[in-house]
Chains A and B, each alone.
Chain A
């Protein structure tokens, strides 16, 4: 039988606020355990939550960016369950009145554009962390993360392959960073993904029973977990079994999903409106303000890069995936006096290679846009060759010097002066009469010998076009 995969996603994006969603405790990552967990986060008696304005603004910004309906009134609700990293015994979330309603996002897979529906996005608080290493046979709880604002983004079950699911997650990942509402750091858990997967015979209208896979914190894991889960479900059905609706955990080490039985019975969350929080009102003024505050979005930026800088679809795509990368690129182009294509090659080539090798993000690049742009300018005006530029780049990477300083100090200026080059050529011809004869006898390949020798003698600084021109002239004399 032919099977079709149906995928829906839930993404938790940690909002980039300084303080928590309902308290004034810091959200900074990596602090000592429980040093950023205040009385509100601990759910101590008598405390009351006060909603963080920035979290609301971020949610609205996201909604506007995906063309969603923004609810004029949204309501916080309590999702009740017991777990030690949830001190209040409920998670403050939103249920039937989320802040962001129906929207959509376009993805592209193999050149085909597909629109994926976003059902909703709602504000909620994160839980703390349980540490299961052995603490006198007990579990350790760190509540620093408790109360960190999350935007949970829920998609429609519109995806039909793991490639589409990954494209959607990547699109969202880029978008939230462009909007500046989430740092997108998947290792630190700032951007996490749960996947709902089911299969059905091709042509069947009705959805199959789905399993939810939790704990996916990389694009590769999402792809592998879906592939694995689809195979598992098909195996179950084809061997006469039935898929059970359950939560499964993906184990990256074993590349398999396994059932999380402990949570099955806890699915009765008994939501009710949170009496401690009033409905959130979004005014027309705030909407206008947020609309005016939207940055140029990835798609628009990509199209502009193609038009303005004459970049290929691929180049424009790579350069706009990260907003910092796009900003870097545009700055560098300015400093290079408009050498758009050459700067693109350098950013995607030498610079990206260097950053990858050192495991650095472009925002931490040792070579800033100004110095890279100035280097490219010197290639464009033929002060140095592209090859020498790679040497200069090494110096830029390791120091604070500018390209001009390095070229001057290291004497890397290209030799284009024909008088100087002629002298070298004359000497070379005098020293190698046999090769000169060979060339004149029709062996044009010998030209390579001459070019090579000159480059060696000048340590690569001779202007190659000029050398070629002069050699041709002189050898034919």
Chain B
């Protein structure tokens, strides 16, 4: 399977990654190589193997439903570029 330039641009846009126009070809080729590797693995018959959801062979530990966090707004907002009335401010989003 090969990745085209437009695929690279689309993936980059979806992931909000800024890439240089002259690097698009390079990424297309690198990503194609990775896809080829996956394609190669796809040849192996895995029909009687359970798909793996996580490399650790364990199940999720659960936490009791207790409030353990206190209000740390002031601290947590110290690295926010802009705040007002306790809100984080971001460039205007219009629905």
Contacts and interface: CB of A to CB of B under 8 A. Distances in A.
A18 B66 contact: yes
A143 B53 CA distance: 29
Contacts of A56: 62
B86 to A, nearest CB: 4
Contact of A84 (B16, B54, B56, B90): B90
A96 to B, nearest CB: 9
Contacts of B87: 33-34, 131, 135, 140-142
A140 B67 contact: no
Interface in B57-95: 58-69, 71-73, 76-77, 82, 84-95
B95 to A, nearest CB: 6
A277 interface: yes
B41 interface: no
A139 B90 contact: yes
A38 B72 contact: yes
B90 A54 contact: no
B14 interface: yes
A141 B62 contact: no
Interface of A is mostly: loop
- Which size bracket describes the interface of B in this complex? 35 or more
B85 A140 contact: yes
A32 B71 CA distance: 10
A280 interface: yes
Given A33-B86, A136-B84, A279-B54, A24 B63 contact: yes
Given A24-B69, A97-B53, A135-B84, A141 B60 contact: no
Interface in A1-55: 17-19, 23-26, 32-39, 42, 44, 50-55
Interface of B: 14-16, 53-54, 56, 58-69, 71-73, 76-77, 82, 84-95
B82 A138 contact: yes
A35 B67 contact: no
A275 to B, nearest CB: 7
Contact of B88 (A35, A50, A82, A143): A143
Given A139-B93, A278-B54, A34 B62 contact: no
Contact of A35 (B62, B63, B73): B73
B95 A138 contact: no
B16 to A, nearest CB: 6
Interface residues of A, number: 56
Contact of B56 (A138, A273, A278): A278
A24 B68 contact: yes
A97 B60 CA distance: 14
B69 A23 contact: yes
Contacts of B53: 73, 75, 97, 273, 278-279
Contacts of A23: 69
A254 interface: no
Contacts of A42: 76
Given A38-B72, A97-B53, A141-B89, A279 B67 contact: no
A365 interface: no
Given A42-B76, A273-B54, A278-B54, A52 B86 contact: no
A131 B87 CA distance: 9
A260 B64 CA distance: 39
A138 B89 contact: yes
A140 B84 CA distance: 8
A104 interface: no
3 nearest A-B pairs in the assembled complex, by CB-CB distance: A24-B68, A140-B87, A54-B65
Interface string A267-284: 010100101011111000
A140 B88 CA distance: 6
Given A97-B53, A132-B94, A143-B88, A24 B67 contact: yes
B46 to A, nearest CB: 16
Nearest to B50: A73
A427 interface: no
Given A138-B92, A278-B56, A279-B54, A51 B62 contact: yes
B8 to A, nearest CB: 14
Nearest to A277: B60
B60 to A, nearest CB: 4
Nearest to B13: A265
